[in-house]
Amino acid sequence: MSENFVHTVCTDGFEMEYAQFGNGPKPLVIIPGLSIKSVMKSADALQVPYKVFTEKYTLYFFDRKKNIQPGYSLNDMARDQALALKALGLSGVNLMGVSQGGMIAQIIAIQYPELVNKLVLASSTSKAVPSQIELIGNWARLARAHDGEGLVSAFIDDCFSKPFADRYRRAIQAMYRDVTDAEMDRFALCADLCDTVNTIDELHKIKCPTLVLGAGDDKVVTPQASLIIVDKLKAAGTPCELEMYEGRGHAVFDELKEYKDRIFEFLEK
């Protein structure tokens, strides 16, 4: 973990880590999805894939708050994220949410619209479907059993396209070979919350320009999830764009360089 990039915001009785880099005047806040290990542990590695943003934007990658306990909810996550942004003096940000981070970002855009200038929803959903509940539930079961090897293997197979998984499996496994029981317990608590996402009937309250990014072979939230979000936003008159990456899996955001270019293009309009 790089001390140069990772900071801690303390507010309202909780602490939340975030990585900050870039020198631009415009804030880009990124809420990542479920992660077996905190992205803060590899914060310095984020600079290369997000290099396209660093001249015009200052980037903030947030972890979930520390010391998550049973009973914590997606609404709690969104509230705490909003409080963290306010504590840092951030408003009118460009907000990107990835997978579960997209669920949180939707709630923020609905409940705290003053905080969001533009919204990017990457491989996310507004309502859980049975296949998602079963797949993520399997991750949670493996995590609670402290089966690190099984969890990482399932995560790779479920999230990445087969060519990418075949090529990078060993490297990804090496990243997680020392995952701790505490990290898996935290992962399981967060994973359970994906079942509870239900913003579908409130999407009409999102009024900021929104880019929805989906994947044609997404086995986690399904490609239909992105289409539903777009249909709801367009019906409400929200400026909305869709990009669907055919032949790619849930973690397409980690597979394609042009993915970041598409987001940059949207934010610069």
Structure confidence by residue, pLDDT tens digits, 181-238 = 999 999 999 999 999 999 999 999 999 999 999 999 999 999 999 999 999 999 999 9
Tens-digit pLDDT profile for residues 5-25: 899 999 999 999 999 999 999
**pLDDT for the residue numbered 119:** 98
Mean residue pLDDT across the chain: 96
Helix (H, G, I), strand (E, B) or coil at 48: coil
pLDDT of residue 85: 98
Q: Are 256 and 248 in contact (CB under 8 A)?
A: yes
Query: What are 241's two structure tokens?
Result: 């764009």
- Please name the residue that has the structure tokens 């990658």: 61
- The answer to whether 157 and 135 are in contact (CB under 8 A) is no
Distance CA 120, CA 57 (A): 15
Q: Specify the DSSP element, H or E, that contains 20.
A: strand 14-21
Q: 3-class DSSP state for residue 154?
A: helix
The first and second tokens of residue 115, run together, are: 């905080």
65 φ/ψ angles, rounded to the nearest 5 degrees: -65, 160
Measure CA 257 to chain center: 17
Instruction: Give dist(CA 209, CA 203) in Å, integer.
Output: 13
Does the pLDDT value for residue 1 go beyond 70? no
Give, in order, the Cα–Cα distances in Å from 129 to each of 71, 125, 135, 219.
Answer: 22, 9, 10, 11
The model's pTM? 0.96
Residues in the chain, total: 269
**Which domains occur in the chain, in start order?**
6-126+198-267 (3.40.50.1820)
Q: What is the pLDDT of residue 42?
A: 82
**pLDDT above 90: residue 3:** no
What does the block give as tokens for 172?
């990804």
Rounded Cα distance between 84 and 90, Å, is 9
The answer to whether residues 143 and 151 touch, using CB atoms and an 8 Å cutoff, is yes
